[in-house]
Amino acid sequence: MGTIDDKRLHDEAIVIDAVCPLMMDRQYIDWWIEGGVTAAGPTVGAFQRAGPTLRVLGDWLRAIERDPRLVLVRRAADFAAAKAARRLGVVFHFQGTEPIEDDLNLIDAYKALGVGMIQLAYNVKNRVGDGCEERTDAGLSTFGLQVIERLNEARIVVDCSHTGYRTTMDAIEASSRPVVFSHSNAKAVRDSPRNITDEQIRAAAATGGLIGIVGFPPFVSASPRPTLDEFVDHIDHVVGLVGDDHVGLGLDYYKGQAPVVSDEESMRMYEGRIAAGDWRPESYPPPPHHFPDGIATPRTLRNLTRRLLERGYGEEAMKKILGGNWVRVFREVWGE
């Protein structure tokens, strides 16, 4: 075990951070490149309807076309091609189904524009079902069932993060393709409404899906400054339950975290989220929000590879966790 060179392994591995709201501010793109990341998933849709979302997608497509650092990832083979070309792959991700409105045909339009993964809800109730912060837990709606079917047909990954327990279990049962929790931690390790139960972990894994471990501090530990070991504890728990084929990274770096913005600006952003009802103080304590020590930003993600090695993971397992499992899921849903 001690003969593995963590630097070589990180440089060889396909490394995927599947959920990256911070990347919507493209001045931070170099942080993922510096961290040795192969591909990252900016949140290009969430709370807005189709019109504004299409404008965001158009802006991103133009930016990728003009930026030699970037390449849009549409199929599984594109990850290896991006790595070989030394370019950062971009995976378009929605954190919510508001952009679909009530028109299933928009799902096909978004697929044509490169959207690869769509999350069903963001904490609160929508047309599809309940979020994990909602008072009720009514499950997937009739329209939600139609959304799952169309996502499967369009070959877009179904994402259950931020989504209510029953809605996630309904979606997992209804889906004919792998289902993921793109950025959710283990409730058994840290009891937060945003984290997921062992039953949800097992159910997603049974579809061939995975759990993307998230770095947002309140979901990692009770400490406002979680350690890297506390982050890896969530990886350990998922691996212990369902094996190392069903865990990946969805770190969820975002604009309001330390050290990206000042504490004052972070608080203003936080208060806006609380006022809008997107966040509840019980799940989202006030900033500053410090991501785990050692991976406080994507610039230092190499430290995670070193710590996984120190925690006893072998080379094959680490390559799966760092990105290989995401490649497998995307291959099964998108195709080669």
pLDDT band (50, 70, 90) for residue 298: very high
Domains of the chain: 6-334 (3.20.20.140)
Task: Say if residues 42 and 20 touch (Cβ distance below 8 Å).
Answer: yes
Mean pLDDT (the chain, rounded): 97
Q: What is the pLDDT of residue 291?
A: 98
Q: Is 36 left (phi over 0), alpha (psi -120 to 50) or beta?
A: left
Q: What is the pLDDT of residue 285?
A: 96
Question: 278 in helix, strand or coil?
Answer: coil
Mean pLDDT of 169-197: 98
- The rounded percent of the chain whose pLDDT value lies above 70 is 99
Mean pLDDT of 201-216: 98
The helix (run of H) or strand (run of E) holding residue 44 is strand 43-45
Total length of the chain: 336
pLDDT band (50, 70, 90) for residue 210: very high
Task: Say if residues 321 and 249 touch (Cβ distance below 8 Å).
Answer: yes
Q: What is the pLDDT of residue 104?
A: 98
Distance from C-alpha of 70 to C-alpha of 84, rounded to nearest angstrom = 13
pLDDT digits (tens, 9 = 90+) for 246-286: 999 999 999 999 999 999 999 999 999 999 999 999 999 99
pLDDT of 177 over the 50 cut: yes
Distance from C-alpha of 243 to C-alpha of 38, rounded to nearest angstrom = 23
Task: Say if residues 114 and 154 touch (Cβ distance below 8 Å).
Answer: no
pLDDT band (50, 70, 90) for residue 4: confident
pLDDT digits (tens, 9 = 90+) for 88-134: 999 999 999 999 999 999 999 999 999 999 999 999 999 999 999 99
Task: Say if residues 121 and 162 touch (Cβ distance below 8 Å).
Answer: yes
With a CB cutoff of 8 Å and minimum separation 6, the contacts of 84 are none
Task: Say if residues 277 and 124 touch (Cβ distance below 8 Å).
Answer: yes
Mean pLDDT of 55-65: 98
DSSP 318: H
Mean pLDDT of 60-69: 98
Higher per-residue pLDDT: 1 or 112 = 112
CB atoms within 10 A of CB 275: 9
Task: Say if residues 73 and 82 touch (Cβ distance below 8 Å).
Answer: yes
pLDDT of 48 over the 70 cut: yes
Give me the residues paired with residue 92 across strands. Answer: 115
Give me the residues paired with residue 212 across strands. Answer: 248
Mean pLDDT of 288-293: 97
pLDDT band (50, 70, 90) for residue 1: very low
Q: Is 57 left (phi over 0), alpha (psi -120 to 50) or beta?
A: alpha
Q: What is the pLDDT of residue 3?
A: 76
Distance from C-alpha of 216 to C-alpha of 116, rounded to nearest angstrom = 23
